[in-house]
Chains A and B, each alone.
Chain A
Amino acid sequence: MEFLKKYPKLFQWLFLLIVFFALCFAIDVPETYKFIRGQAEFVKDPNQSSYIFLGKEVRYYAFDVFWRLPPLLGWLPIWINDSLFFLMNEWMPMEFWNEDTQEFKTRPLLLQISRNLTAFMTFLIELIREVLLGGLETIVAFTSWDWIDKNPWAELPGLPWTIVAAGAAILSYKLSGKGLALFAGLTMIYISIFGQWKPSMQTLSFILVAAPLSFIFGLGLGIAAFKSKRVEKALYPILLVMQTMPQYAVLVPALVLFGVGDHAAVIITMVVAVPPMILLTILGLRAIPPEVIEAGRMSGCNNWQLMFKVLIPTARRDILIGVNQVIMVCFSMAVISAFIGAKGLGFNLLLALNQLNIGLALEAGLCISLIAILLDKMSLAWANKQTDYFGNLSFLQRNKNILFFGSTVIIGIILAYFGTFIFKDSFNYLFEVPHNKGISTADFWNKGVDWIFDTFFVYIKAFNTWLIQDVLQPMRALYLRMPAVATIVLVVGAGYLIGGIRSALVVCALTLFIAFSPWWDRALVTTYMATFGVIVSCIIGFSVGTLCFQNKHAASFMLGVCDIFQTFPSFVYLIPVMMLFGITDTSVLIAVIVYATIPATRYTIEGLRSVPIGLHDAATMSGVNKFQRLTKIEFPLAFPHMMLGLNQTIVFALFMVIIGAFIGTEDLGQYILKALSDKNGAGIGLTLGICVAFIGLIFDNLIRTWVDKRKKHLGIN
């Protein structure tokens, strides 16, 4: 009894676990339950029950409610589909002038807006693409095909790769110095000589449209949210869901609204990239000391001047970190949006993975990663660069980089011109190395994959079999064995114990949404895969982080490694694991583990680093040894920060599990992938995306609430 009085929380948790397990054992698996039958597949089966809501018929297998809740939200995807169909095809038909046919045509308003928007996006992408690669469609857009036939000189020639490479190097030099300039130059040379120039420029053109637009919208909405509490409140739930929403899921409604192609990809990339920009804008503006605002007001600034002359320049660093995030999200989306027809490196990567040509996939993946690292470093350097307002520089000193670039443009054009003579009978390699004419290491890597399989097949197979049969399948069975009532009691109880009644209600609402959707079983499989990944990632991340923390250089090195790994688009992680483990669940899980280990390691190191040095000294003075200091002082104080790492690990793991559907899992991601090729998939895709986002938000809510309480308890800000 004394023990219970001493540890009341432990007693409450024990009670919760006892209730959970009692419910698990008390509720039998229904005789008719089979995993594959567990969800409504929107197919008719005489054994299904049905109900009608809002005129939509929902069919489902009516199990005992304690075991599985009926899909009371099963109408939602159908309703979303029908609403989209109505909006796109029937809502507000209007007369619009058609330039091509020179007559008025009746079209629904939303369809017309969507078409105009896509036409605008296509124009922007084509414009940048033709500046980089050459072409004539932009000129034709302002003139006509007849005009361009008569004036062929007006066709945009495109920039020689040498000029782009030099431009990247000069810009990197201006932002960060020699190191980054060298890296930029080498990256561009690598891309060119490996024949990836054209797809790389296609990807870059896509990013050069998506990133600035996302920045403008994100900044605008961020400012609006900073200025108005109402806007902030309206944006908050969207931002919250978008943070944990898998990018895959957003693709499906985009298909319906904007069709297939680069334009749809740009729009959907903006949808994904704008939330981090908004968040960082709000964060930056909030962090401005009131004295600065007061000084601005005292100087006689009006609202507009105060915002653009005082607040934004002061919050410049946070806003530019937002730009960095936007660029990274754009890169990640550049690969994923290949699913909806975006051209470029992502498309090549997807094609190569579909053909199981690991060598080609690796080349494309490496290019994407290199460009991502380069842009990440450049944008970070830009964010950290201090503007020198007081330097008294001459015109030449101020504009030396522009002059350098101008001269490289001239040299590049001259080189490309000479190239026409040097490579008279073949391609002008000094202008552009064609996609299939560059150096290729694909065969080497493919042979390497074959060698790995030939040499280690027995071991890989044994490992696969062990992992799948002895670890994963029992774990999956355990998750699927959980009755709905037990799961909800556990989750809501945990919410109550961690954050009180408010937190309990929030997690209850989120869990019920998933439980009332037709994909509860799939959600359990998603959670099981994510949980497995998170457990292993945390073990690795916490251990590696703790070990690296012991040495200053090792910690810096590991943070650098995390930085680089974090810039890789998530899809790239699938390449090496497919190389080693083929197309199995093991591949997905290893990719999940590698991807999710990054935040676990990073937050462990950062958490341990955040412990005040004064406490180290105090501990040393008190005579504690290194291990005691670690376990008694550093870990307890760093634990809240490490838990934020766990939060990120969960989100990363969920993202990768969903992307893993490409390899062939049977979780929610698989259904999102199926929805992509289904003309009625928009509603399903969106609902599934919300389900995944809610899984993430449940953990996010629990962890953040706990961290806040713990920090308060420890007196850490």
Chain B
Amino acid sequence: MLKDNYFNRLKELPETIKQFGGLVIITVIIISTFGILNTFWGGGDELIKKMKLEEERIANEKKLNALISQLPSGILVTFDGTDNYKLTDELYEAVCNATKLIPQRAIMAAHFLNYEAYDLYTINGNKIDDTYVKWNVDKKKCFAGYTVSGENVGVNRTAKVVGEVLSFLSTGIDTRVYFIKNF
């Protein structure tokens, strides 16, 4: 009875009021639907954090690239006693952070005392799995490493090679690891 009354009263409302009511309801429905969707799909804050980190990383990379472009082309060393360009402590850290590449020459040289890695490397067609160049904050030194894995005499084996980066090669565009001391 109460419901009937309510509907009758709604029906008796002027057409324009009913239309306006419909418009308000549609608006509310749309906005609330967006609100519900936002709880599932909205990633505003998370994305902002991620993007900010990414932008920071890009800015740092740019800074490092600018620094590297000022370095002379050739071999950059961290020790005394050679004719090559010697890096200061600050530059050493910056170059370490900017370096990503470990070329084949550095890998072959690092195998010098790691026979297992050498064998796996040559048997499996000079393939390496992971490489990294990292600045060790405690030791204040740059370390590079890589993993070689594959079959050796029918057995799956993995060898990890890690060592201190003693020198870098500056190509004028980027820097690469030149020598890894793994002994």
Contacts and interface: CB of A to CB of B under 8 A. Distances in A.
Interface residues of A, number: 34
B66 interface: no
Nearest to A47: B50
A30 B44 contact: yes
Given A46-B50, A489-B31, A493-B27, A62 B42 contact: yes
A149 to B, nearest CB: 54
Q: Which 9 A-B pairs have the closest CB atoms?
A: A62-B43, A8-B16, A64-B44, A32-B51, A65-B38, A70-B41, A65-B42, A47-B50, A485-B34
A451 to B, nearest CB: 46
B155 interface: no
B47 interface: yes
Interface of B: 16, 19-20, 22-24, 26-27, 30-31, 34-35, 37-38, 41-44, 46-48, 50-52, 54
Interface of A: 8-9, 11-12, 15-16, 19, 23, 30-32, 46-47, 49, 61-67, 69-70, 72, 484-485, 488-489, 492-493, 496-497, 501, 504
Contacts of A493: 23, 26-27
Nearest to B39: A65
Given A70-B41, A72-B41, 20 more contacts: A16-B23, A19-B27, A23-B31, A32-B48, A47-B47, A49-B43, A62-B41, A62-B46, A62-B47, A63-B43, A63-B44, A64-B44, A65-B34, A65-B37, A65-B38, A65-B42, A66-B38, A70-B37, A492-B26, A493-B27
Contacts of B43: 49, 62-63
B51 A31 contact: yes
Q: Which of A64, A70, A493 has the most CB of B within 10 A?
A: A64
A209 B41 CA distance: 51
Contacts of B26: 492-493, 496, 504
A379 to B, nearest CB: 47
22 contacts: A9-B16, A12-B16, A12-B20, A12-B23, A15-B20, A15-B24, A30-B47, A31-B48, A31-B52, A32-B47, A32-B48, A32-B51, A46-B54, A47-B54, A62-B42, A72-B41, A484-B34, A489-B27, A489-B31, A496-B22, A496-B23, A497-B23
B46 to A, nearest CB: 7
Contacts of B47: 30, 32, 47, 49, 61-63
A64 B39 CA distance: 9
A242 B22 CA distance: 33
Contacts of B24: 15
Contacts of B51: 31-32, 47
Contacts of A11: 20
A278 to B, nearest CB: 35
B24 to A, nearest CB: 8
Contacts of A65: 34, 37-38, 41-42
Contacts of B44: 30, 62-64, 67
A489 B28 CA distance: 9
